[in-house]
Structure 1
Amino acid sequence: MAEYLSPGVYIEEIDAGPRPIAGVSTSTAGMAGVTVRGPYTGKPKLVTNFLEFQNTFGGFLPEPDALIRDTWANDPKEGGRWWLFPLAVKGFFDNGGQRLYVKRVASRQATPASGVLGHGLVSPVARDAAKGATRLELGHLIGFSGVGQQIQLFRGDDQQVIHTAGVAAYDATAHRVELDAALTAEVRTGRGDYVQIGARSAEETLEFSAVSPGSWGGAVQVRIQPMASAALPVLPDPQEGALFVTQLAADAAADSATVEVAAVAGLDPDDLPPEVWAQIGSGRFKVEVGQPADGKVTLTLPSGTAHEAWRRGLVVRRVRRGNTSAGPTLRVGGASRLYEGAVVQLDDGTTLTIRTVEAIAADLVTFDADVPGTLFETDRLRLVEAQVDARFTDPSGAVVTESYPNLRLTGDAPTNLVTTLAGRSQLVRAVALGALSTDPAKFPVPAVGSWLTLADGDDAYGSLSVADFVGEDGGSGKRTGIAALEDIDEVAVCAVPGVWSGTAESALVTHCELLRDRFAILDPQDGLDIEGVQAFREPFDTKYAALYHPWLVTRDPATGRDVEVPPSGHMAGIYARVDVERGVHKAPANAVIRGIRLTDGIAQDITKRHQDLLNPKGINALRFFPGMGHRVWGARTLSSDSSWKYINVRRLFLYLEESIDEGTQWVVFEPNDEALWALVRQTVTNFLTTVWRSGALAGTTPDEAFFVACDRTTMTEDDLANGRLICVIGVAPVFPAEFVIFRIQQKTRETQLA
């Protein structure tokens, strides 16, 4: 209760009336099955269309080797055709399904494809170059030493050396080098040509593996290369004084020793240090500053300086030094981007040098060794990090690519390479090995080329077992197989398409009976006759599952051939479609089956006489009717209890129970008195009234459709003393018109007398 301790106006919010109950979704399905690829660990993944399923879990599975196929397909008790799972998923979406949680099933012996990197320095060619060219554009210049360095060019297809030359000049920003010897052969990016400096080492630095087990990982390639994640300006030394910007006051001939510039503020030798550098055109020159005279100042260049002719008006600006004396420190703009242990590349225009950051104090950065030469404020310090690229080529030819820039090779930062791939990549994982170094000259590279192709992945279908489908309960997020569907509360319909193993289907039924918020669709063995399917049905007695017969016939897009598929995937889609269009109270029957062959879309012809035997035993028939197409012609559960023989009745109560459960959580720990009971009664009554108005409950009035009791008649003093609130609810469901009977008799014509 609020406290009123001082005079004033108090504004309070109070609850008015019962809280509404929102109906839960009944059209969300969950399935466990074998896929080409996709996440094997963790919770089931949501897919909302078949394209999303293909992107996450791959396309259609090929039929396994004859020995494996026959071992499963010819086992009437513990077998299945699990390789048809993707076709069942397609059937789900073809028939109106919108949300499906998929749990991948894989053999415990399955292994992911993997590969190990050594180290060296490689840079891919970024642009084609013709024979005779001297300019080459590369992916990066990280780790290069600069002018005079020898490089080798390799062909990307056969790894043969096609050219060797020295670096005459470079542009680190544009990743461009000028060669001292013209190319003797053309260079092509599409071929994967690359530059290599020095030899490669087989010392192991990184191990990459596919994100999930299976042979699919053999189509995954990985590349890691250094990158400049930031280009930070060198700040001038405080002793350098002020900046001046002027322009040529007269033309200057080529190689002239002096130039005249306009006198401006700051251009006074008395205010300048002994050593002054100026940027004239594209060149940087050490100059001696003369005394101003007649509004002009003479700048003298060092003897023998070569330069092009300059025109009057050309901008001349002072370039201040960043380091005026030898030492390991340098002032850097944006130094906050750096961190201890960061690797940087210094560039003075002719030499590229690698240093490691040891300390940072404001903009003053201390390195592990002296800063080489003289750096100027026009120079840049580049932060060296890593970029990982991964690509996967689907059997259909589609390519999935990933790119992760700005990664650290070592350390515990969130941007660490291993951590980033573990949290974000859908293709690969990485493990750091002993020889991993942050030295760009020893960057992780494969034995040949610049891309590492993963290898030795194994699906191990030969060791796949029923236990893999049943799964293990390792706790939330660590469950496998059918058990993993427990992690998703939204699942209302579940199936293991194509698997008729008694152990697996019994586990699925038990899963539904324990959670009491979902319904299972079971598949019989393919090719069973009427007696066979009746025998298959005999072991089951549950109100939480339904069985459909026979199998369906559809076109396999992967092979272009017709194939028989289990009905559970298509039926789950029909459940979802009927729920959305009509409601969970409508029996999922007398609905057209989509996504199958237009003619002979059902594997076996079921007649009325056949169904006379199947229907009383709870086996729902899939039938063809001329002029009406292929339809679901049954709506029964596998229960021997006549109260629960209809699927829609069972699923309606699942819907009511789950909705009331989730919508009344606020009641827990409230004072258990008459006021609370009245709120609970009204809350449930309002919800059931809405359900009744939707046509889900029988009766012409709410009183005929349901009752809600929550008062002294439903609870004793012992219940109250033990914290129990008991609400008794009675509901009259609408049963389907399974047998429509029209009784017709002859009527004798009676004479009407006037």
Structure 2
Amino acid sequence: MPEYLSPGVYVEEIDAGPRPIAGVSTSTAGMAGVTARGPYAGKPKLVTNFLEFQRLFGGFVAEPSAAVRDAWANNPSEGGRWWLFPLAVKGFFDNGGQRLYVKRVVSKQAKPASGVLGQGLASPVDADAAKGATSLRLGHLIGFSGVGQQLSIVRGDDQRPIGPATVTGYDVAARRIEIDPPLPAEVRASRGDYVQAGPRGTEGTIEFSAISPGAWGGDVQVRIQPVAGAALPVLADPQEGVQFVTRLVADAAADSATVEVAAVTGLAAGELWVQIGPRRFKADAGEPADGKVTLTFAAGTAHPAWRTGLAVRRVRRANTEAGPKLRIGGASRLYPGAVVQFDDGEHLSVLRVTAIEADVVTFDGNTPLLFETDRITLVEAQVNTRFASAGGVPETEAFGNLRLAGDHPSSVAATLASRSRLVSATALPGLSLDPAKFPLPAVGSWLSLTGGDDAHGSLSVADFVGEDGGSGARTGIVALEDIDEIAVCAVPGVWSGTVESALVTHCELLKDRFAILDPQDGLDIEGIQAFREPFDTKYAALYYPWLVTRDPSTNQDVQVPPSGHLAGIYARVDAERGVHKAPANVVIRGVKLTDGLAQDVTKRQQDLLNPRGINALRFFPGLGQRVWGARTLSSDSSWKYINVRRLFLFLEESIDEGTQWVVFEPNDEALWALVRQTVTNFLTTVWRSGALAGTTAAEAFFVACDRSTMTEDDLANGRLVCVIGVAPVFPAEFVIFRIQQKTRETQLA
């Protein structure tokens, strides 16, 4: 109750009548089956079109070896043609399905492909270079040591050496090196040519594995290379004084020991560094005289001739004496353990960050002499993956600015675990943070994964049934329990009694979904009747015969199970007409226009099938191939129609979810009235949509929630009992026109 303790105006919100009940979705399907690849752990994955299915789970599954195929296809009681699952998924979307949760089924013996990287230093060629060229543009210069370093230039296609080279100069920003001798042959970036420094080590650094088991991983390639995560400016030492810019007041001959510059504020006598043209020079400044200052260079300093007026700018040192500390602009971008590369103009070196305090960074060794015009490079990693298989959708991934080691969220292992759909990574003892020992394959720059195995020979019906390891850890059919939105479920192509019994049990236990079962392929009328005999459930339907479609992967006709196409038809009819409309007398899409059914079913044959709850798929001239049955597998005549069963599933689930707010409310007449009105409003809407029989709402349903439905014992035990009666609309399965002959009667005038 609100409290009114002081005078004032109080604005309050109050409930105004019953809360609306939103109808749940009835067209969301769930399927379990074997796919070419894709996630197998965790909850089923949602796909909304067949292209998305291909991107996530791969293309069509090739028929297994003859021994495996025959062991499954020739087993009438526990067999199946599970390799047709992607075709059934395609049939689902062809027939109007929009939302499908897929659970991949794999053998317990299946293994993912994997590969281990060694160590070394290589950089890909980033631009073509002609024979005789003396410079190369590379992908990076991280880990290189600078002038004088010996390199090998290698072809990327056949790994043949192009020739040795010595670095005579470099430009880190442009990623360019000058080499000697000139190139003995052309270098091409498109061929994958690269530069290697030193030999490659064999000690394992990182193991990459395909994200899920299967032979598909053999088409995955991985590359990891160092990248510049950031280029951070070096800040001047505060003791270096102020900045100034002056100019030459007299010409200076080449290699002259002194130059004269104009006296300016900040130019004081003493040792300092100046930049003249592109180079830096150490000099001693004399006392100003007549507005001029003489700068004296160290003995042996070489320089070109300079003309009067040339700018002379002071460059302040970042470290006036050798030590491990530097002031860095943007130091917050660094972190303890970060690897940083330094460039002193002739040599490249690396150190690791040990501490950061404001803009002062401490390293694990003495830093080289640096100036405020210099920048340091944060060394991080970039992982590229690529996958392309025959008939599959090519896929590439790129993850940059990663920490090579550790368990930070931006580390290689953690990033791939959370974001990659192709690979995972594990650090090995040989992993080093030295960029010169970066993870590298034994040959080339891309690592091809090997050793993946689908182990189809050990696949069993138990893998389809699955195990309950708790939420997010279930497998097979059991995993469909993790998705509450599923309303129709199937295991296409599998007619195993164990699997279909598990699917029916799954629906009967959850009581919010309906199963579509597949018979064995090639059955005749007697065979399909015998196949149907073990089932008695109001939560499943059976369709006969199989369908014929074109397999895009082989461009040949193939028979496919009907459950995938029928699940799509259920979704289409639900969207167009409503769940109360029987999913029958509708055209089957995604099959051959002629001979789209594996067997022809005549009216006399269906006279035997329909009473037994076997729904026929038939061809009618001028009408095409249609679903010609809408019965469940129940012996209870009250639940013999699919649409009646699914209508009640819709009503029960909608009311269940729409009245959760009632729990723990005061159980009195006010609440009962609110519940009655809430349910009545919902059922009125359902009746007006044509789902319930009756010319008035009173004829279509009733809702009772009062003392006639509850006893004092119910109230004392916290039970609210609401009784609902609903009159469903039954399908016009038998349309009968009775025609009789009428005798003409004589009319008397």
Deviation at 1:247, TM superposition (A): 4.9
In 2, the alpha carbon distance for the partners of 1:341 and 1:609 equals: 80
Correspondence for 1:319: 315
* Deviation string, structure 1 residues 421-478 (Cα, Å, up to 9, x no partner): 1111100011111111111121111111111110010010000111110000111000
In 2, the alpha carbon distance for the partners of 1:263 and 1:93 equals: 82
Amino acid at match of 1:642: S
In 1, the alpha carbon distance for the partners of 2:569 and 2:523 equals: 23
Range 292-301 or range 558-567, more displaced: 292-301
Aligned length: 749
* Deviation string, structure 1 residues 98-146 (Cα, Å, up to 9, x no partner): 0000000011100000011111112122222111111111121111111
In 2, the alpha carbon distance for the partners of 1:700 and 1:249 equals: 108
Deviation at 1:297, TM superposition (A): 5.2
Correspondence for 2:456: 461
Aligned 8 A contact 2:54 2:392 in 1: no
Correspondence for 1:73: 73
TM-score by length of 2: 0.97
Correspondence for 1:5: 5
TM-aligned CA distance change 1:672 to 1:310, over 3 Å: farther
Correspondence for 1:265: 265
TM-aligned CA distance change 1:607 to 1:332, over 3 Å: same
Q: Does 2:337 match 1:337?
A: no
* Deviation string, structure 1 residues 561-611 (Cα, Å, up to 9, x no partner): 000000000000000000011111111001100011011111111111111
Alignment of 1:527-606 (within 5 A): 527-606=522-601
For the residue of structure 2 that corresponds to 1:707, the secondary structure is strand
1:607 to 602, 617, 622: 602
For the residue of structure 1 that corresponds to 2:227, the secondary structure is strand
Deviation at 1:750, TM superposition (A): 3.3
Correspondence for 1:358: 354
For the residue of structure 1 that corresponds to 2:504, the secondary structure is helix
For the residue of structure 2 that corresponds to 1:269, the secondary structure is coil
TM-aligned CA distance change 1:719 to 1:302, over 3 Å: same
Q: Does 2:41 match 1:41?
A: yes
* Deviation string, structure 1 residues 390-421 (Cα, Å, up to 9, x no partner): 11112137531111112112223111211111
Aligned 8 A contact 2:391 2:553 in 1: no
Q: Does 2:13 match 1:18?
A: no
TM-aligned CA distance change 1:294 to 1:645, over 3 Å: farther
Amino acid at match of 2:30: G
1:443 to 432, 438, 446: 438
Aligned 8 A contact 2:546 2:597 in 1: yes
Amino acid at match of 1:640: S
TM-aligned CA distance change 1:65 to 1:301, over 3 Å: same
For the residue of structure 1 that corresponds to 2:699, the secondary structure is helix
Deviation at 1:298, TM superposition (A): 5.2
Q: Does 2:234 match 1:225?
A: no
Correspondence for 2:99: 99
Q: Does 2:280 match 1:284?
A: yes
Range 160-169 or range 581-590, more displaced: 160-169
Aligned 8 A contact 2:59 2:392 in 1: no
Correspondence for 1:732: 727
Correspondence for 1:708: 703
Deviation at 1:179, TM superposition (A): 0.7
* Deviation string, structure 1 residues 597-641 (Cα, Å, up to 9, x no partner): 011111111111111110010000001111111110000000000
Correspondence for 2:485: 490
Correspondence for 2:245: 245
TM-aligned CA distance change 1:692 to 1:256, over 3 Å: farther
Unmatched runs of 5 consecutive residues or more in structure 2:
none
Deviation at 1:285, TM superposition (A): 2.2
In 2, the alpha carbon distance for the partners of 1:247 and 1:700 equals: 102
Correspondence for 2:502: 507
In 2, the alpha carbon distance for the partners of 1:477 and 1:311 equals: 76
* Deviation string, structure 1 residues 191-229 (Cα, Å, up to 9, x no partner): 222111111111111111100000000011111111121
Q: Does 2:662 match 1:663?
A: no
In 2, the alpha carbon distance for the partners of 1:638 and 1:654 equals: 16
Correspondence for 1:423: 418
For the residue of structure 2 that corresponds to 1:431, the secondary structure is strand
Deviation at 1:279, TM superposition (A): 2.5
TM-aligned CA distance change 1:248 to 1:524, over 3 Å: farther
For the residue of structure 2 that corresponds to 1:199, the secondary structure is coil
Deviation at 1:306, TM superposition (A): 4.1
In 1, the alpha carbon distance for the partners of 2:384 and 2:138 equals: 16
TM-aligned CA distance change 1:630 to 1:320, over 3 Å: same
Correspondence for 1:209: 209
In 2, the alpha carbon distance for the partners of 1:228 and 1:592 equals: 59
Amino acid at match of 1:269: A
In 1, the alpha carbon distance for the partners of 2:744 and 2:252 equals: 128
Range 282-291 or range 328-337, more displaced: 282-291
Amino acid at match of 1:357: V
TM-aligned CA distance change 1:597 to 1:247, over 3 Å: farther
Correspondence for 1:147: 147
In 1, the alpha carbon distance for the partners of 2:304 and 2:656 equals: 85
Unmatched runs of 5 consecutive residues or more in structure 1:
none
For the residue of structure 1 that corresponds to 2:486, the secondary structure is coil
Deviation at 1:293, TM superposition (A): 6.2
Range 70-79 or range 335-344, more displaced: 335-344
In 1, the alpha carbon distance for the partners of 2:63 and 2:392 equals: 20
Range 203-212 or range 276-285, more displaced: 276-285
In 2, the alpha carbon distance for the partners of 1:218 and 1:649 equals: 49
For the residue of structure 1 that corresponds to 2:195, the secondary structure is strand
Deviation at 1:264, TM superposition (A): 4.1
1:328 to 324, 345, 348: 324
In 2, the alpha carbon distance for the partners of 1:457 and 1:449 equals: 21
* Deviation string, structure 1 residues 3-40 (Cα, Å, up to 9, x no partner): 22222222211111111111111110000000000001
In 2, the alpha carbon distance for the partners of 1:704 and 1:52 equals: 46
Deviation at 1:317, TM superposition (A): 2.5
Amino acid at match of 2:361: V
Deviation at 1:259, TM superposition (A): 5.2
Deviation at 1:150, TM superposition (A): 0.8
Correspondence for 1:54: 54
Deviation at 1:275, TM superposition (A): 2.5
Alignment of 1:371-450 (within 5 A): 371-372=367-368, 374-396=369-391, 398-450=393-445
For the residue of structure 2 that corresponds to 1:394, the secondary structure is coil
TM-aligned CA distance change 1:649 to 1:308, over 3 Å: farther
* Deviation string, structure 1 residues 28-64 (Cα, Å, up to 9, x no partner): 0000000000001110000000000000000011111
Correspondence for 1:523: 518
2:740 to 737, 742, 745: 745
TM-aligned CA distance change 1:512 to 1:303, over 3 Å: same
Correspondence for 1:84: 84
- Percent identity over the alignment? 79
TM-aligned CA distance change 1:247 to 1:44, over 3 Å: farther
Deviation at 1:353, TM superposition (A): 1.0
Range 740-749 or range 284-293, more displaced: 284-293
Correspondence for 2:637: 642
* Deviation string, structure 1 residues 246-297 (Cα, Å, up to 9, x no partner): 455677666565556555432x224xxx332222332222234455567665
In 1, the alpha carbon distance for the partners of 2:131 and 2:503 equals: 67
In 1, the alpha carbon distance for the partners of 2:463 and 2:441 equals: 35
